[in-house]
Structure 1
Amino acid sequence: MKPGAAGAVTAQTVDLDGANAFFEKRRAAYETLADAVAPYLPTDGVLFDVGANVGFFTKVLVERTGFSGRAHLFEPVPNLAELCARTADELPCDATVHRIGLSDADSHLEIFVSSDGNLGWNTMVEKKAHGKAMIPVDIEVARFDGLAITDVPDLVKIDVEGAEYRVLAGMLPSIALWSPLPVILCEVGWGAGHPEWPQELAAFDALKALGYGTTLVNGDEVDVRDLRSTTDVLFIPGPRA
């Protein structure tokens, strides 16, 4: 592994105290997201946290809502997955950490992690990592529909720095069978500036075909085709949309 920038920790070297300090500075943004999805997650429901990092989103969600159900957290970066497992151990819910990434195929590939201390900037989109002092890390990814997870989620959170369409491609066969359909909170990377924007739109169109509508986290309706920058979007199944 290549070293990070002088004095900077990376996703592969940070400890849990350092990671929590990083994310605590961003707590307000996580609380906004947690409050936006709280109406859609029963206290005893099921949460899928895809791109869990060290588990901070789930931690904040539990704190804000009193969630005590089942949580599945997916994180492929080895050190982050280890820290996520430690976070999960302290949660007052039934939390399982899956040390893999979700994608459109079962594979081993490289994810690129930031070398400048930004623990939230880890991407599988090589075109966006090029020339940005990113460190390649080998990870395992898998299609969700091959994992034999039988829990049906009430809420799916996806924060995967541009790999949204890959996650959804491997999950859509299952989503189509779930009843009721889950609400999906998805960070859409770069909007129309995404290097694979047509593939992103195809995945979002597949959700629309299942009856999903789209809003911003403040409740305003949004057309994903109009996105021009990274944006958090709620995919809400009708008639709740």
Structure 2
Amino acid sequence: MPWGQRITVALPDDVSVALHRRGYVEYDLSAFYLGLLENGMTFFDVGAHVGYFSMLAGEAVGPDGKVIAFEPTPSTFEILAENARSLENVTPVNSAVWSEPSLITFRDYGSGFSAYNSAFQPRLRQSLRANIVESTHTVSAVTLDAYVSEHKCSPDVVKIDVESAEMHVLRGMTKLLSGPRPILSLEVGDLDVPDAPRSRELVEKVCSFDYVAFELCEGRAVPHRLRDGYGYENIVFIPAERTGEVGPRSRALAG
């Protein structure tokens, strides 16, 4: 990766192919986090996959910081745990994040589509969905509010990329959004997945806690205007009282 670490990937899924070729994924979000995160911060990676953003955050928050990486898929979690093994500030958690503590049925779409594993149908075009062979796992699920209460660690920043389960995560972190008020990034995208809310609803949900929405341009946060429909992107939410702290910062993904 650009900052010198090596990462084990899970070819041939899309994220792993990009990491294998370039050493990074999601340039805008990566650059934003490299500009935002500082030594000693706590970062929650909700939907960590093989751990790219967990490793990026671990590098950025330093030995005095902390990264908690949530990943429910057993096979993907094994790779995440391997990548975290040499990073003392990264704690992998083999659990889904949900609206209530529970056991949920989680869909595994195989090595070619592991980035789309979800409690819902995959966020892919229907023509691709038809060719996927899925298996299911029963996985434990926690809420972020309960995890924070039990482990006495409050995040400064939360990344959420959970393939259509975003509303469940938000409903399980209302105390966090009302109290400690971390900065938040949320992956959006409307692909008509059954039972998944529209992205506009997610943006409105976070903003109802007096957060301000931003979109990313070359790693910089610029004001976001609410839309009726969304393609794949990450929206960043800053507590209204902290918008002046962030500004248009970014760091290039250079070695």
Regarding TM over 0.5, the answer is yes
**Matched residue SS, 2:115:** coil
Q: Tell me the alpha carbon deviations over residues 28-52 of structure 1, each in whole angstroms, 9 at most, x when there is no partner.
A: 4344322112333221110000001
Structure 1 residue 136: Cα displacement: 2.6
> For 2:93, which of 85, 95, 98 is the aligned residue?
98
Structure 1 residue 106: Cα displacement: 2.4
Q: Tell me the alpha carbon deviations over residues 191-237 of structure 1, each in whole angstroms, 9 at most, x when there is no partner.
A: 37454465755553342122211111222322344333222111111
Q: Residue 250 of structure 2 corresponds to which residue in structure 1?
A: none
Percent identity over the alignment is 24
Q: Tell me the alpha carbon deviations over residues 85-115 of structure 1, each in whole angstroms, 9 at most, x when there is no partner.
A: 2211222x52211110001122222222333
- The answer (yes or no) to whether the contact 1:42–1:154 under 8 Å persists in 2 is no
Between the aligned partners of 2:135 and 2:105, the Cα distance in structure 1 is 6
Whether 1:67 and 2:62 are equivalent positions in the alignment is: yes
- The answer (yes or no) to whether the contact 1:217–1:234 under 8 Å persists in 2 is yes
- The answer (yes or no) to whether the contact 2:58–2:66 under 8 Å persists in 1 is no
**Matched residue SS, 1:124:** coil
Structure 1 residue 70: Cα displacement: 0.5
TM-score by length of 1: 0.78
Whether 1:40 and 2:32 are equivalent positions in the alignment is: no
Q: Residue 249 of structure 2 corresponds to which residue in structure 1?
A: none
- The answer (yes or no) to whether the contact 1:193–1:228 under 8 Å persists in 2 is no
> For 2:80, which of 63, 80, 84 is the aligned residue?
84
Q: How many residues align?
A: 222
Between the aligned partners of 1:152 and 1:185, the Cα distance in structure 2 is 16
TM-score by length of 2: 0.75
Q: Which has the higher contact order (CA 8 A, sep 6+)?
A: 2
Q: Residue 29 of structure 1 corresponds to which residue in structure 2?
A: 25
Residues 97-106 or 204-213, more deviating: 204-213
1:1-241 equivalences under 5 Å are 16=8, 18=10, 22=17, 23-25=19-21, 27-63=23-59, 65=60, 67-68=62-63, 69-91=65-87, 93-115=88-110, 117-126=112-121, 131-138=130-137, 139-147=139-147, 148-178=150-180, 181-188=181-188, 190-191=189-190, 193-196=192-195, 198=197, 201-218=200-217, 219-241=221-243
Q: Residue 8 of structure 1 corresponds to which residue in structure 2?
A: none
Structure 1 residue 54: Cα displacement: 1.4
Structure 1 residue runs without a partner (length 5+)? 1-15
Between the aligned partners of 1:156 and 1:33, the Cα distance in structure 2 is 12
